[in-house]
Chain A
């Protein structure tokens, strides 16, 4: 009696679950779609998003106005598109600010250890101790509302996040033999950080950037909802939501489109971030 192994292999362990890649792909597609919309909006929108036409106010979605018009007769689709440009721009620039300060800080903390590391880490603890959105509101209230100040306010809170992630990653990489080999080759800490550590941290950084981007989208929507983001006439999703709130009885659809835009973009970014993280861990 010789046991024949079935094609699936009664001999083998259970197969690994599949299908995680598709969620990441969907996330990537959503993110890319919003990026594309933001790019298109900077050249062309169906109507001028700031053009007021009281005669056309509060129209339902139609062939002329796909998403309808608001209380001032502005085209909602154009506003959503222009708002995407604003939101994506703010979130991306905030991530770039956070990464360009946080990454070097993290690398320095890991390379120098000791007092430098303590200072960087305690400073980031201090930043973490405050509720980020509240402080961003305080920040923009002090500096004055506007897109640029929103970028700075959100960017400041990205700095410690990047510093921590990079320091943790760099510390493990510093224990690898290849950094030892590079030191024997006469390379200094700065050079090793840029030539060996940074490229190997690329994956972790991409994941973190995606997550911070989605948090940035929410923060930007929140700030402009309370009037501290981009100022009129620049359209923004947060202010559209704010304006729709007072008109919920008249036209509930007005809140649906900007609300869905925020939710969809955040969902896309999170799916993408999770997918990237799983891809690395798997």
Chain B
């Protein structure tokens, strides 16, 4: 009955309790084809991906038909399924760290999959593992086999996860947000690898993501999932030009990320935050009794300036020293050299009352909307927390009014204050974090990867909100991110950071259109853009 398709899904439906998560989904993937499955968070993408291999959480019910190479997955016994998973179908998920056993060497982890599925000898398994690691660009001869997961970077770990998925040469690969936790350069490499697998090894791939810009680069076809239903499904090139469904168009707009405000030149405005020649070093672990190791220099002579009302972006890969710099700018760490001035006063050297007074003028919004709130505090208390640095902290009704006003400014009802942070979605939590930063009416707010964990639609909303607040309240922003696209959408001026140094700076428009430094150029090439093909072919 097979029609030649590798994977056929017919009217698949999943419900958990009385909630219908996925319904009426039908799709096909041919050998060597990459199908993109795109939708905002909560659209049922991941549930759908899990349902294909019958990996749904307890309590979920599914119906419909899933056929792999003509065999019905839904009719298989658990034993048959186990031989299909891993051997015929490989799977990769978002978090490469949690998918690996931290105590097992890479080579053994890959080999383990082989040994679980067949009677391969230890040596055969090891050579297969080496081949698989070679295939994903981790050269087995270089000792990659003997390394532990924590010794690898995020991109390398994702490659190991891919190697495990691919070691038995499966005909189908299911990849759920495989690049979301990676920075742009690594993301580009992993995407190139996926495309290579499909083209040369004829692996069929289901690539699940919230970001159209990412998956449009490598997919042949895209299915758009909204509230558990496929609302549109067509060839990638057609979708970019002729999407009809309003939801697809919203996703496209969000992925394009138009500039949120007209850029202005603030060179003549007053300086709000100024850092000169900042050096930040971390001591390294001692290996010999005689010699003290030279410290690790994370920030190496960096100067940054933010003018009143200006939005400044700091861009760089993970490990470029952005976060270390930010901690110094916020006076959380003391620099080993240089000085930070806030509103003309020495901030990095301030102590006691002076430090507390200055803290009112700079606030921060952090990346992880889940981790940046005390789980035991209600939102009203969380938002009110910074008001503690005021000389006469308001209390009772006055404080309540301030909290409500701050929540309203970020588009949340005042009633939100009575709930706990975990009761809100990722985007709403980031709004709460912004409200907390606003309550002191600071002159500048620093953002550390503040929108990286959000899906594209929510990201666009938050960026619009930030642009509007900046205009209305004349706020200055320091926007630290690895994502050039985000910085392009919001910043007036950018600094590009590499290995602890600023390699390029200038107006955002100029730097991103005609970059001068090769590093900036490579970052721009790696950044996914709708309609532009994936740059570079190697991995």
Proximity bits, A142-181, B CB within 8 Å = 1, else 0: 0000000000000000000000000000000000111011
With a cutoff of 8 Å between Cβ atoms, the chain B residues found around residue A1 in the complex are 65, 72, 75
Q: Are B72 and A186 in contact (CB under 8 A)?
A: no
Contact in complex: B72, A177 (CB < 8 Å): no
CB distance from B418 to the nearest CB of A (A): 18
Question: A2-B74, A3-B65, A182-B385 known; A12 and B372 CB under 8 Å?
Answer: no
B contact face: mostly helix, strand, loop, or mixed: mixed
Report the separation of the CA atoms of residues A4 and B63 in the bound assembly, to the nearest whole angstrom.
Answer: 5
Could you mark each residue 58-89 of chain B with 1 if its beta carbon is under 8 Å from any beta carbon of chain A, else 0?
Answer: 11111111100000111100000000000000
Instruction: Report the count of interface residues on A (CB-CB < 8 A).
Output: 28
Contact yes or no, A183 B332, CB < 8 A: yes
Complex CA–CA separation, A9 to B57 (angstroms): 10
Q: Is the CB of A185 within 8 A of B72?
A: no
Q: How far is the CA of A16 from the CA of B72 in the complex (A)?
A: 27
Nearest Cβ distance between residue B316 and chain A, in whole angstroms?
20
Residues of chain A contacted by B75 (CB below 8 angstroms):
1, 3
Q: Does A187 contact B (CB under 8 A)?
A: yes
- Given known contacts A185-B359, A186-B388, A177 and B61 CB-to-CB distance under 8 angstroms: no
Contact (Cβ within 8 A) A177 B359: no
**Complex CA distance for A130 and B66, rounded to whole angstroms:** 64
Is there contact, CB below 8 Å, between B74 and A11?
yes
Tell me if A14 is interfacial: C-beta within 8 Å of chain B. yes
CB distance from B529 to the nearest CB of A (A): 31
Q: Which residues of B contact A183 (CB under 8 A)?
A: 332
* Cβ of A176 to closest chain B Cβ, rounded Å: 5
Bound-state Cα–Cα, A11 to B72, Å: 13
B55 located at the interface, meaning its Cβ lies under 8 Å from any Cβ of chain A in the complex: yes
Q: Is A10 engaged at the interface, CB distance under 8 Å to the other chain?
A: yes
Q: How many residues of B contact A (CB 8 A)?
A: 45
Whole-angstrom CA separation of A187 from B377 in the bound complex: 16
Q: Is A196 an interface position by the 8 A CB rule?
A: yes
Residues on the A chain within 8 Å of B364, using CB: 180-181, 184
Nearest chain B residue, comparing its CB with the CB of A191 = B388
Question: Per a CB cutoff under 8 Å, which of B55, B62, B356, B433 touches A186?
Answer: B356
Residue B330 at the chain A interface, CB threshold 8 Å = yes
Contact among A12, A177, A178, A199 for B60, CB-based, below 8 A: A12
B363 touches A (CB below 8 Å): yes
Q: Are A180 and B366 in contact (CB under 8 A)?
A: yes
Q: Which of B62, B376, B388, B433 contacts A185 (CB 8 A)?
A: B388
A184 CB contact (under 8 Å) in B54, B58, B62, B332: B332
CB of A115, distance to nearest CB on chain B (Å): 15
Contacts of A250 in B (CB 8 A): none
Q: Which residue of A lies closest to B1 (CB)?
A: A1
B58 and A14 within 8 A (CB): yes
Distance in angstroms between the alpha carbons of A183 and B376 in the assembled complex: 18
- Chain B minimum-CB-distance residue to A7: B61
Is B374 part of the contact surface with A, judged by Cβ < 8 Å? yes
Contacts of B355 in A (CB 8 A): 186
A-B residue pairs, 8 tightest by C-beta? A3-B74, A186-B389, A177-B372, A185-B386, A11-B62, A186-B359, A15-B58, A2-B65
